[in-house]
Structure 1
């Protein structure tokens, strides 16, 4: 069961290097004990606290290694970095969305929550979260962030991809060499092809696209909090 709503493209596997290259800012801090509400990541007014990051790691760990108490340290370190990059990108996308007036409505969020809860027996969904020390309000905020990321990617990247007649013809030659069967609706088939091609082009162009956004929306990292957290994490 997935507790994390996946974004349109799998971005969690990106290395940290692109953030360093494209405008990473290190936030210093005095040598004091960190608290769960310390800001770890920030882009403009958008922030991720240490608590939000830690609980996001817990959710990702349960998704990747369900029920496992002991996880290989290298795999766990990789998971930490993937979540770190994922949250960083979500902050970039959230800031970009705010500037463009893109948002997830309460109705859209509640529909997504209900759809996920429907896969669980009565009352077990929130119990599953609590077993992993994840609060429902935080889980809901994380879901909203992922939904917003999906919407931004779809509306400003995928839907803007130009599909040429040559693209469609090539697809037909590969998958419909004998033509569209009479039993299928040609208009519906055409629309599916265009949607598929736009998604593929969007996925291929995502890395360069998000890198450009990161130049305009640099991610500020509280290095003191990050290093302290990682030192204390088994």
Structure 2
């Protein structure tokens, strides 16, 4: 897991606090940039919002959850700092524009109401939006530019994954539904004459149409029976169910086939790009972690879990130190900020 990678590569565990009030509430630093307990709690609250029921997690489960969230925050901060060095930092204008896009999906005033109902702090939400935009920019404008896909590589992928490009037998069908058998029959007859699906809704206001593509192996028994023996352009008898009446017009029957290399190339390119982006990000992360100074409060878990568990558990620093020694890094476990 990402959390394990980060803690294996941590250079320093946060040194003892001198009582500086500026350190209060800081749970980690990434190249001196602070990560606050409020950020950790905000992310954990969002994580818990997806949980169902009143199950109280164990201390070990909380330890893992907070560790995963902190690892994500560390990576997000590294991304932000890298973009700043490249003079590609996410601007306030970009954040505002992205927020406006989100707000546009809500009626006026509803966005703020959702924040209140879900106990979401707007400032924290905007911070996470900025992190999201930064990671998106890193992938699209930095890592993507480093990736080249050679045609020989694409050919090799196509041959090795040929089964992914197999298309089974399928049918393209126009489904015509209506409140009465007679109306459906008339609508199908009109479609047979002018082949215009849109005209049906105008001519028959109560008729609904939809076009679907179904694999033959996934046809229901009723549809399979109704379509049996039909040729493209022909329609089935009117079927009856509890929701009304419907007829099926067979528009196209496609035989099973394997996509040709030229047809499969967009899918091959997408698969290779996803793999290469993943590898490029792993390389980017390893490089940035190797040169970063990441410090973490040894009392992080005890402080962060105080509201959830009466029992406070400190991280197993001996295990972390043992792993660090194996990787050749130095570890200090003198204390924590915020003491």
Question: Smaller-chain TM-score range?
Answer: 0.7 to 0.9
Deviation by residue 1:173-198 (Cα, 9 ceiling, x = unmatched): 533642446xxxxxxx8667545422
For CA contacts below 8 A with separation 6 or more, give which structure has more relative contact order: 1
Aligned position for 2:302: 227
8 Å Cα contact 1:26-1:222 kept in structure 2: yes
Shift of 1:153: 3.1
Instruction: Write the distance in 2 (CA, Å) between the matches of 1:108 and 1:213.
Output: 25
8 Å Cα contact 2:66-2:301 kept in structure 1: no
Aligned position for 1:44: 31
Aligned counterpart in structure 2 of residue 151 of structure 1, from 129, 137, 156: 137
List aligned pairs for 1:168-179, cutoff 5 A.
Answer: 168-173=154-159, 174=162, 175=165, 177-179=259-261
- What SS does the corresponding residue of 1:88 show, helix, strand or coil? helix
Residue segments in structure 2 that go unaligned for 5+ positions in a row: 166-257, 310-339
Instruction: Write the distance in 2 (CA, Å) between the matches of 1:68 and 1:126.
Output: 26
- What SS does the corresponding residue of 1:42 show, helix, strand or coil? strand
Deviation by residue 1:137-173 (Cα, 9 ceiling, x = unmatched): 2210111012102212333323312211112223555
8 Å Cα contact 1:158-1:199 kept in structure 2: no
Aligned counterpart in structure 2 of residue 80 of structure 1, from 37, 45, 66: 66
More helix by share: 1
List aligned pairs for 1:22-61, cutoff 5 A.
Answer: 22-30=9-17, 38-61=25-48
- Return closer, same or farther for 1:29/1:45 CA change in 2, 3 Å cut-off: closer
Count, aligned residues = 211
- Return closer, same or farther for 1:15/1:197 CA change in 2, 3 Å cut-off: closer
TM-score (norm 2): 0.53
TM-score (norm 1): 0.73
Deviation by residue 1:51-89 (Cα, 9 ceiling, x = unmatched): 122112112322x32x64445335544332221111011
- What SS does the corresponding residue of 2:35 show, helix, strand or coil? strand
Aligned position for 2:174: none
- Return closer, same or farther for 1:19/1:229 CA change in 2, 3 Å cut-off: same
Instruction: Write the distance in 2 (CA, Å) between the matches of 1:59 and 1:196.
Output: 31
Shift of 1:36: 10
Aligned counterpart in structure 2 of residue 198 of structure 1, from 265, 268, 273: 273
More strand by share: 2
8 Å Cα contact 1:41-1:219 kept in structure 2: yes
